[in-house]
């Protein structure tokens, strides 16, 4: 699982995106869209919804990239848009109903990258979690958001983020222990800040 921190956008492409150059938009899309799709799919648990997020994110990039002041901020800005688009879908009653009707727990090769052993098992296990919990785990453990930042994004507190992370870890640990036939001990995982 890779986050946005690993995206290397050539400076000339980033400058072109900020200027509104169509060719640069195309190059940027090819570089960044797999990460947007991967993040959205992992957080939302639904491929169709994730593909919609990709479309919405890049519409916003095309419309508003000129507002970004520094080339170095472009990827972080896209990451923020992606998180916000996912949050809007999690909060939307329409999207909640749709997700319940169209579950998609297949998280296969999202980034077009080779997988390390066991990674797809982790991704599949994440689909066991409630969407908010899955989002907290992704933002904290992969994207490096703090509990305070996650709480603010979700309109909650840092404590909410910490408790969601701890519950998510417990659910994942119980799942893996059940698969291995081991008894789970309550409180085995501790939440870190």
Provide the token pair at 174: 């119980």
- SS3 for 140-179 is HHHCCCCHHHHHHHCCCCHHHHHHHHHHHHHHHHHHHHHH
Residue 169 and residue 106 share a domain: no
Q: Is residue 151 domain-resident?
A: yes
> Is 122 a member of any domain?
no
Query: Which of 92, 116, 140 is where one domain is finished?
Result: 116
Query: How far is the C-alpha of 119 from the C-alpha of 177, rounded, in Å?
Result: 17
Give me the long-range contacts of 15-21 (CB less than 8 A, separation at least 24): 15/71, 17/61, 17/65, 17/74, 18/65, 18/66, 18/68, 18/71, 18/74, 19/66, 20/62, 20/65, 20/66
- Residue 50, domain member (yes or no): yes
3-class SS at 47?
A: helix
Pull the structure tokens for residue 7.
Answer: 């995206």
Task: Identify the domain containing residue 134 by its residue range.
Answer: 128-193
Could you tell me which of 2, 24, 27 has the C-alpha nearest to residue 15? 24
| CATH code assigned at 102 | 1.10.1740.10
Q: How confident is the prediction along the chain (193 residues), in pLDDT tens digits per residue?
A: 456 777 889 999 999 999 999 999 999 999 999 999 988 988 888 888 899 999 999 999 999 999 999 999 999 999 999 999 999 998 887 766 666 666 554 444 444 443 333 345 666 777 788 888 998 998 898 888 999 999 999 999 999 999 999 999 999 888 878 776 655 454 444 444 4
On whether both 167 and 97 belong to a single domain, the answer is: no
Q: Are 93 and 138 contained in the same domain?
A: no
Last residue of some domain: 95, 116, 137? 116
DSSP secondary-structure letter at 183?
P
Domain stop point among 116, 142, 169: 116
Asked if 91 and 145 sit in the same domain, the reply is no
In a domain, 15, yes or no: yes
Number of folded domains in the chain? Answer: 2
Asked whether 158 and 17 are in contact (CB, 8 A), the reply is no
Using a cut of 0.85, tell me whether the model's pTM lies above it: no
């Amino acid at each position: 699982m890779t986050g946005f921190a690993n995206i290397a956008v050539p400076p000339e492409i980033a400058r072109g995106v900020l200027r509104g150059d169509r060719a640069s938009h195309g190059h940027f899309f090819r570089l960044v869209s797999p990460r947007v799709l991967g993040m959205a799919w992992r957080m939302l648990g639904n491929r169709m919804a994730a593909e919609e997020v990709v479309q919405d994110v890049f519409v916003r990039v095309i419309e508003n990239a000129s507002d970004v002041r520094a080339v170095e901020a472009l990827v972080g800005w896209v990451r923020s848009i992606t998180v916000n688009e996912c949050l809007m879908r999690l909060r939307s009653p329409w999207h909640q109903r749709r997700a319940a009707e169209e579950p998609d727990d297949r998280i296969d090769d999202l980034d077009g990258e080779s997988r390390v052993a066991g990674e797809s098992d982790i991704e599949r296990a994440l689909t066991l979690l409630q969407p908010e919990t899955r989002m907290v785990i992704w933002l904290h453990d992969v994207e490096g958001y703090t509990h305070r930042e996650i709480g603010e994004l979700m309109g909650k507190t840092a404590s909410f983020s910490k408790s969601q992370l701890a519950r998510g870890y417990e659910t994942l640990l119980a799942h893996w222990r059940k698969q291995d036939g081991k008894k789970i001990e309550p409180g085995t995982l501790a939440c870190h800040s």
